[in-house]
Homo-oligomer: A and B are copies of this chain.
Amino acid sequence: MENFTHYIPTKIYFGKGEISALSDEFKQRARRILIVTGQGSVKKNGVFDDLMDQVKKAKIKFFEHSGIVPNPRLESVYEGIEIAKREAIDLVLAAGGGSVIDAAKAIAVGAKHDGDVWDFFERKAVPSSALDVGCVLTLAATGSEMNGNSVITKQDSQRKLALSTPLIRPVFSVLDPEYTFSVNSFHTAAGIADIMTHVFEQYFSYTEAADVQDRIAEALLKVCIDYGPVCCKEPKDYDARANILWAGTLALNGLIGEGKAGDWACHGIEHEISAIYDISHGAGLAIIVPNWMKHVLNNATRKKFVEYGINVWGIDKEKEDSSIAEDAIKKTREFFVSIGMPSSLTEVGVPQDKFKDMAKNAIRSYGQVGSFKKLTESDIVDILQRSV
């Protein structure tokens, strides 16, 4: 295990009706808040009304910035920053899924900066302060509700980049499983693919003996496998939604990644695809992950796949290692397909002609793609070709 600092001060209000905690949070922290929302679902499913009750109770002033889309755009971030600066906002409240939260975070850090917020994403500048961010989560997927990451897309240059800083870690997040009841089966499944991939990116690592982290990672994967299909079939099953929601948050709040090297190759590759083709991030990951697994499986990495197969999928440990590893990868693909995820780029309309550019861009964006196995441009092209 490697050294690490564990510090996750986000306050989580978990469970039905927990939004009632917000009036006190507002009273303590804010007088003028900017509410950031997506394409209208929070207005239809009652979340926004519940939020308004809290705003009124706290007697604070609110402003609204709506219309954030999946793979959130830099333009919307600029618009939000303008409002935040003009209206002297002191807390940015995201009501929505990961895209809305990521936009809110970028607004929060941009509002305290005189230059271009995109410089932070391009690593040309380092942020030193940000407005407080709060969340009311409506989708189990990105884990953005309890971490300091934001992923924003600059459409004109087809770049999708991540900023990571504790300054934008939410100060509080409301996780009400009932707020995820109205998410349709496809987006629920894409969220689960995203959650599981977050776990894979941290689980498949060259760091030895980080067993606490790895056993917890397996715990979260088992929850996804047990409850993911239930959420897709029975969208109002409270316990299924609750377990997936909490697993999604813990999958990317630091807990399972601290003390070990992360890989993040699949995210690097998928970001290049969705930067150009605007496909669902989770669906893109469901396509890429099993092909990444096949590509990186070799004599050096097999041990970890065997551990994964036995501990997560319950494959008989008496079998041959190579068969356990291959079976584990097969089961991963089958699971994604079983919850309605696509298994090929062709299926989601992504052609082959830009694979080389994507590979180049991935390496340009991240410096290095993968650490469990470091990927070259031709490795990435191979993974994309396997995914056709």
Cβ of A258: which chain B residues have Cβ within 8 Å of it?
14
Q: Does A350 contact B (CB under 8 A)?
A: no
Task: Decide: B15 and A11 in contact? CB cutoff 8 A.
Answer: no
A4 proximity list for chain B (CB < 8 A): 14-15
Copies of this chain:
2
Contacts of A223 in B (CB 8 A): 211-212, 215
Looking at A35-43, A242-250, A267-275, the stretch in contact with chain B turns out to be A242-250
With the chains together, A206 CA to B220 CA distance in Å? 21
Q: State the CA gap A21–B7 with chains docked (Å).
A: 13
Contact of A250 among B2, B9, B212, B247 (CB under 8 A): B212
Beta-carbon contacts of A1-38 to B below 8 Å, as 1s and 0s?
A: 11111111111111111100100000000000000000
A82 interface contact, C-beta 8 A: no
Question: What chain B residues lie within 8 Å of A15 (beta carbons)?
Answer: 1-4, 259
Q: How far is the CA of A246 from the CA of B211 in the complex (A)?
A: 10
B1 and A6 contact, CB distance less than 8 A: no
A208 proximal to B (CB < 8 A): yes
Residues in A265-297 with C-beta less than 8 Å from chain B: none
Of the candidates A4, A218, A219, A250, the one having the most CB atoms from chain B within 10 angstroms of its own CB is A219
Q: Which residue of B lies closest to A216 (CB)?
A: B219
Contact between chains at B220 and A212 (CB < 8 Å): yes
Report chain B residues within 8 Å CB of A11.
Answer: 5-7
> Roughly how many angstroms separate A208 CA and B237 CA in the complex, as a whole number?
13
Q: Are A227 and B246 in contact (CB under 8 A)?
A: no
Say whether A52 faces chain B, with CB atoms less than 8 Å apart.
no
- Across the interface, A243 reaches (CB within 8 A) one of B10, B17, B211, namely B211
Closest B residue, CB atoms, query A209: B239
Say yes or no: is A226 at the interface (Cβ < 8 Å to chain B): yes
Contact check, A5 vs B12: say whether CB atoms are below 8 A apart: yes
List of B residues within 8 angstroms of A21 by Cβ: 5
A222 on the B face (CB < 8 A): yes
CA distance A246 to B216 in the complex (A): 12
Q: Are B5 and A246 in contact (CB under 8 A)?
A: no
The verdict on A243 contacting B209 (CB below 8 Å), with A8-B8, A259-B14 known, is yes
Q: How far is the CA of A9 from the CA of B171 in the complex (A)?
A: 11
Task: Name the residue of chain B whose CB is nearest to the CB of A258.
Answer: B14
Chain A, 235-266, CB within 8 A of any chain B CB: 239, 242-243, 246-247, 250, 258-259
A223 vs B11: C-alpha distance when bound (angstroms):
28
Known contacts A219-B218, A222-B215, A259-B14: A239-B208 contact under CB 8 Å: yes
Is there an interface contact between B14 and A212, defined as CB atoms closer than 8 Å? no
Contact A14 B9, beta carbon cutoff 8 Å: no
List the B residue with the shortest CB-CB distance to A12: B6
| Chain B neighbourhood of A247, CB < 8 A | 212
* A363, chain B: closest CB distance, angstroms: 31
**Chain B contacts of A222 at CB under 8 A?**
211, 215
Closest B residue by C-beta to A244: B212
* Alpha-carbon gap, A17 to B14, bound state (A): 36
A208 neighbours in B (Cβ, 8 Å): 239
Residues of B within 8 A of A2 (CB): 15
A176 smallest CB distance to B (angstroms): 9
With a cutoff of 8 Å between Cβ atoms, the chain B residues found around residue A210 in the complex are 243
Cα(A227)–Cα(B208), bound, Å = 14
| 7 sample A-B contacts, Cβ–Cβ < 8 Å, listed by A number | A5-B13, A7-B11, A209-B239, A210-B243, A212-B219, A212-B220, A215-B218
The list of the 7 closest CB pairs from A to B, nearest first, reads: A3-B15, A215-B219, A209-B239, A6-B12, A9-B9, A7-B11, A1-B242
Beyond A3-B14, A211-B226, list 4 extra A-B contacts (CB 8 Å): A14-B258, A212-B250, A215-B219, A218-B219
